[in-house]
Amino acid sequence: MRIDVLTLFPEVCEPFFSASILGRARQSGLVTIACHNIRGWSADPHHKVDDRPFGGGPGMVMMCQPVFEAVEGLESQGEGAATRVLLTPQGERLNQRIVEEFAARKRLILVAGHYEGFDERIRSGLSPREISIGDYVLSGGEAAAMVLVDAVVRLIPGALGDEESVQDESFRMTDAAPREAGAAGEDESGRRLLEYPQYTRPRVFRGMEVPEILLGGDHGKIRAWRRAEALKRTAQRRPDLQAADQNGVESYRQARQDEAGVENSHAEQDH
């Protein structure tokens, strides 16, 4: 996969793309990420990339010429047409479904703007996918581009050391390698769930104990507990995720029954 990021501040993005999981994915050749300064394509003698808005008003507007030539120039290099993405608060709100869609693409070109916004012809002429990372306004699209690239690259097979960690995490949606139906991350019908609670050593910290069930080594029971916890947590914190599915309530009830069964059999074991 190749990702090009067009920005006025490549020096802000580059270190982020060189650290941790992203840095490793780049080094191992799973992804090529290149940050480019849009000014490099400006035809203006002073490398101007913005101008005052027609009709008046505050701030400056990103001009068409450098952005068009940057996108078209990059696309003409080798791999050809890319999925073009404009980071803007006016865009479609980013979610895991979109992230997965992008992770399946061979090539992305992200355009991060600054100033008051983009000349509207950048939208109409380049037909980018417009993406927002949330309903708030940042001073530029760089942070949004970093969020998007991070979320996408970690889904590339091999990017994470442990493939399992994508399997169960919150919002995971695709079933590329179905393993255990009912594991958290999604349920057996592929609905999105928040992740179940996790614990590590010590078994007791300041009087707070790890749930017994996780220490018993019965993987069937652990799976049922985790599924119930994921459903419970999703119902409590993000009922909107379940509301999208008519079967959500029934599934939740079933999980609570399973959970009660687990607790009962566990109580029996204790006697």
141, 152, 159, 187: which one binds ligand ADE (CB under 6 A): 141
88 vs 234 by CB, closer to ligand ADE:
88
* Contact status, residue 103 vs residue 160, Cβ threshold 8 Å: no
Examine residue 138 and tell whether it contacts ligand ADE (CB under 6 A).
Answer: yes
State how beta strands 117-118 and 61-62 pair. Answer: parallel
Applying the rule CB under 6 A, the residues between 222 and 251 that interact with ligand ADE are: none
* Alpha helices per DSSP H over 159-247: 164-167, 219-237, 239-243
CB nearer to ligand ADE: pick between 88 and 167: 88
- The residues, ordered by sequence, that sit 6+ positions from 82 with a Cβ below 8 Å of its Cβ are 2, 4, 74, 75, 105, 107, 108, 109
**CB contact burial 207-240 (16+ within 10 A = b; e otherwise):** eeebeebbeeebeebbbbbbbbbbbbbbbeeeee
- What binding mask, one character per residue, do residues 68-87 give for ligand ADE by CB under 6 A, x or -? -------------------x
Nearer to ligand ADE, 140 or 197 (CB): 140
- For ligand ADE, the closer CB: 93 or 121: 93
Q: Does the footprint of ligand ADE cover residue 144 (CB under 6 A)?
A: yes
- Of 68, 155, 50, nearest to 111 (Cα)? 68
CB of 6 to ligand ADE, least distance (A): 13
The residue within the footprint of ligand ADE, chosen from 31, 63, 133, 235 (CB under 6 A), is: 133
Q: Which residues of the chain form contacts with ligand ADE (CB under 6 A)?
A: 87-89, 132-134, 136-138, 141, 144
